[in-house]
Structure 1
C-alpha cells in the first residue's frame, strides 16, 4: 500500500492489502482485453463479490463489511487502479444500494441489501434522462397511481449496469406540481414487464462498464415505491454525496496507477546515454504529478471522514466536501494521466502501454455524477450562502 494512504484501522489495512493482491492477480491482467473487446466485467465483479467488495459500502447489519468511509475510498481506488471499467460498474452498484439504505423501508432493505452485498443481485441507479442530466429536477419520467400500484413511463439514459442489473432504483415524478419535492423512487426488479434496455452505448473509455438507455412503461405494485412518496430527490442527493467521493476514489486509483507507470518508465528509459530521471524537466513533471495527487488525496480523505461522521450522527450533510473531492480528484487525475502519457512519449499513445487506456477511462470523471461545472456551482453556492 502506498505511503500516502494511512490512518486506517489494522483490519482495514489488511483488507486493503488483500484486495490489492487479488486485483493485481485477477483483475488487472484482464483490463486491456476488456478494453479491446468491450465485454462487460461479469468475471471481475464475481472476483470482487468473493472479496467482499459488493457490500463494502453497507453496514454489517445489512450484510455489508461495515468498513469506514476512508477505507472504502482506498478500496475503490485499488479496484480502479487495476481496471477502471470494473470500478465503474461496482460504484454504480453502490449508488443503487445506497438508495435503498438511505431511502428504503426496513422490509426493502432486508429484501435487497443482503443479496446485493454477497454478489447475488447487481444494482443500477436510474436517475439521468436526456433532458435531465445536470438538473434532475427537470425529470420527465412520470409515475401515477393506479389500482393496486403505479404506472411508470419515461426514458433514462447513460445508466451504468442498466441492461445487466438484477434491480434498478428508478427515480420518477409522482407530483409535477411540487418540483423536486414531487420526485419519488421505485425498485424495478430485472424482468419487470415494460422495462427495456437498449444496446450498450459505444463509449470512449470504461468500455467494460456498460451504460444503457432504458425505456420504461411499467405497472408496479404498491411496495415498489422506495420508502415514502416525494422523498426521491432527497434520497438521490444524499446518494450522490456518497457517490462523488467514490468517483474521487476511482480518479485517485487511476491517477496513482498512471503516475507509478510513468515513474517506472522514466527510470528505465535511457536517451543519449542518460536516464530520463536525470533530466531536470522530467523531474519537475514527476514532482507536479506527486503534488497534484497528494492535494487531491487529502481533499478526498477529508470528505470521507466527514461522510463517516455524518453516517454516525456526528455531523450534517457533507455535500460541499463531496463536491470538492470530486472536482479536485477528477481534474488532478486528468492532468496526472496526461503528464504520464507525455513522459512515455510516442509509446504512451499506443495501446501497448496502459497509459492510453487510463487517459480515456478518466475523461468521463469530469462529466458524470455532476460535471466539473456543476461542482463549481455547488461549491460557490455554499461559499456565498
Structure 2
C-alpha cells in the first residue's frame, strides 16, 4: 500500500540540492552525494523483494519513490535506480541461492548494472557478439559491452552472452558477474562516455578477455537468457515511467511558477489566454502520463499476464508525452529554458537534456512499439470480444490500496487476454453516459471508445512483421493513447468521490484536459478531424491557475501526486522583472 509519509520522508532526506545538482552537471561529476542520501534513506531495500529480505512488495510504492527523486534530479535517479534494473533478471529467473546472495549485496549498497547492449549491435540483443564458453572451471567470458550505465561503478553486472547459435533466441544465456571474482587482467573497464544529458552518470562499458565465472553465475537455464531479459524488461520498462512523470512534474512546476510571476506590460503571463492554454495542456498530458503509469505499476501485481502489453505501452507513451510537455513549456519559458545559470539554477535545460535518455534505454520507443505490433492480432480480438479481467482491473485502478503479491511465474512473452484496460472502454463509456458527469466528459468517453474501436479494426488488418511499416508504429502510438485515456477514465470513475474538493478534481478539470489532449493526438495519428474545441475556456484558465497555485505552495500538480517543497523565494519577483524590463 502506498504511504504518503514515506514519500515526504524521502523528499526531506533529499534536502535542497538544486544548486549543487547544477554544479555537478556543469562539471560532469557523478551525483555521489545525492546517491549516498538515497542509500542512507534505505531506497535499495525497495529494489529487493520481501522474500529475500527487502521491502519490494508494491510497485506503486516504488513508482512513487522514484518519482519523488526524479522531480528533484533525474541524473541521480538514473544512476541509483539502475541497481533495480540490473538485479531484476535475478529476481525473475535466478536460483534461490543466487537471489539471496544478490539481495545481500544490494542491501549492503553494492550497485548492479545490466550489461545488454554492445557497440555494433545496440538494441539487437540476438546479434550480440559477447560469448560465454563452458569450461571445466565454469564459463569463460569474452567480448565488449557498451554503453552500459554503471559499468564501472557497479560491483555486480547481469551480462547477456551468446552460448549457442548466433541470432537464435535459444542461443543466449544470462550471467551474474561479480567483478571481484575473475582473475586480474581478464576484464577492464572502458572509459566514461561524455553525454548530452545525465552528464555525470557512469555511462561506460566493460571488456572481457577470458574472464572465468563459476558455474553458479548462470541465471536460470542455459539458452533462456533472452527470454529472461524480455520478462524482466516488463518490470523495468513499467517502472521507467516514474522517471518521466517525475521529470514532467519538475518541468510543470518550473513553467507554472514562471507564468504566474513573469510580468509583461504589468500583467502576469498566466493571465493571458495562450500561456494559460500551454500550462493547462501540459497539465492534461502529464495527468494522462501519470494515470497510465500508475495503472501499469499496479498491473504488475494484478494483471501480470498482460504486462507484455502494458509495459511496452507505458515505456513508449510516458517519455513521448513528457517530451511534449517539456517542449511546450520550453516555448513558454523562452530564453530561460535554455540558459544554464538563470532561473532556478538553470534547472529546466538540465531536466530537458536529462529526460531525453528515458526514451532510449530499456528498449527505445520504436522497439516497444514494434513489440506492440507483434501483438496486434490478440489486441484486436480482445477489443472485438470486450474481454476484461474484472477483478484484476479493479485492483489496478484502486490507487493507494494494498496489492496482491507478485507472481513472477505469470510473466509471459505475449498476453493471451489482450489488454483489459483498453477493452473496458465500451462498458465504461456506457456507464459514464448513464450517470451525471461533468460537462463533456461522457462525450469524450464516447469519442475515445469510437477511436479504440477504429484502431482495433485497423490492427486486425495489420499483420505482425519483423520490420513493421511506419503506419503500424503510428497505430501502436494511437493504441498507447487509448490506454492512457482508459486509465484516466477508470481512475476518475473509481477515485472521484475520494478526491472531491481537491483543486485539480473540481469540475473534472484534470480528466477533461487529459482526454482533450489525448483525443487530439489520436485524431492526428489517424488523420481524422480534431475534436471540437468547445469549452476550452472553461478548462484552461481554472486549471492553469490551480497548477500555478500548487507550484507556488508545494501542493500536488498532478491528480495523484504528492506535495513537494515550495520554492524558498519567488523565482522571479515582480519588482525584479520590472527592473529588467526598464533596463531593456
Question: Taking structure 1 as the reference length, what is the TM-score of the superposition?
Answer: 0.92
Whether 1:318 aligns to 2:310 is no
CA offsets 1:99-145 (integer angstroms, 9 cap, x no match): 211121111111121220242x1100011112332221111111111
2:29 to 39, 49, 63: 39
Whether 1:366 aligns to 2:359 is yes
Give the greater-gyration-radius structure (CA).
Answer: 2
User: 1:183-202 counterparts in 2 under 5 A?
Assistant: 183-191=172-180, 192-193=182-183, 194-202=186-194
Deviation (angstroms), 1:27 = 4.8
Contact 1:340–1:355 (Cα < 8 Å) also in 2? no
Structure 1 residues not aligned, in runs of 5+? 1-7
Whether 1:248 aligns to 2:237 is no
Contact 2:170–2:224 (Cα < 8 Å) also in 1? yes
CA offsets 1:16-58 (integer angstroms, 9 cap, x no match): 12112222x0654532122111112222222111112113132
Residue 80 of structure 2 corresponds to: 90
1:378 to 363, 371, 377: 371
User: 1:14-93 counterparts in 2 under 5 A?
Assistant: 14-23=5-14, 25=15, 27-93=17-83
Deviation (angstroms), 1:190 = 2.3
State the secondary structure of the residue aligned to 2:145. Answer: strand
State the secondary structure of the residue aligned to 2:132. Answer: strand
User: 1:1-385 counterparts in 2 under 5 A?
Assistant: 8-9=1-2, 12-23=3-14, 25=15, 27-119=17-109, 121-176=110-165, 179-191=168-180, 192-193=182-183, 194-217=186-209, 218-309=211-302, 315-352=304-341, 353-385=346-378
**Aligned partners of 1:276 and 1:236: how far apart in 2?**
48
Contact 2:160–2:173 (Cα < 8 Å) also in 1? yes
- Which one is further off, 261-270 or 42-51? 42-51
Deviation (angstroms), 1:251 = 0.7
Deviation (angstroms), 1:62 = 1.6
Deviation (angstroms), 1:257 = 0.3
CA offsets 1:312-368 (integer angstroms, 9 cap, x no match): xxx315021011111111011111112222221112210122000011001112222
Deviation (angstroms), 1:208 = 2.1
Deviation (angstroms), 1:150 = 1.1
State the secondary structure of the residue aligned to 2:305. Answer: coil
CA offsets 1:176-229 (integer angstroms, 9 cap, x no match): 168111211112112433221111110000112221122112111212222321
Structure 2 residues not aligned, in runs of 5+? 379-584
Contact 2:115–2:159 (Cα < 8 Å) also in 1? yes
Residue 5 of structure 1 corresponds to: none
The alpha-carbon distance between structure 1 residues 355 and 248, as it changes in their structure 2 partners (threshold 3 A), is same
Contact 2:127–2:167 (Cα < 8 Å) also in 1? no
Higher strand fraction: Structure 1 or Structure 2? 1
The alpha-carbon distance between structure 1 residues 378 and 274, as it changes in their structure 2 partners (threshold 3 A), is same
Contact 1:84–1:361 (Cα < 8 Å) also in 2? yes
CA offsets 1:231-290 (integer angstroms, 9 cap, x no match): 211221122111112221101101100101110111110011110001100011001101
**Aligned partners of 1:238 and 1:178: how far apart in 2?**
19
**Aligned partners of 2:31 and 2:241: how far apart in 1?**
21
Contact 2:188–2:206 (Cα < 8 Å) also in 1? yes
Contact 1:103–1:231 (Cα < 8 Å) also in 2? no
Contact 2:255–2:329 (Cα < 8 Å) also in 1? yes
State the secondary structure of the residue aligned to 1:153. Answer: strand
**Aligned partners of 1:26 and 1:151: how far apart in 2?**
47
The alpha-carbon distance between structure 1 residues 67 and 79, as it changes in their structure 2 partners (threshold 3 A), is farther
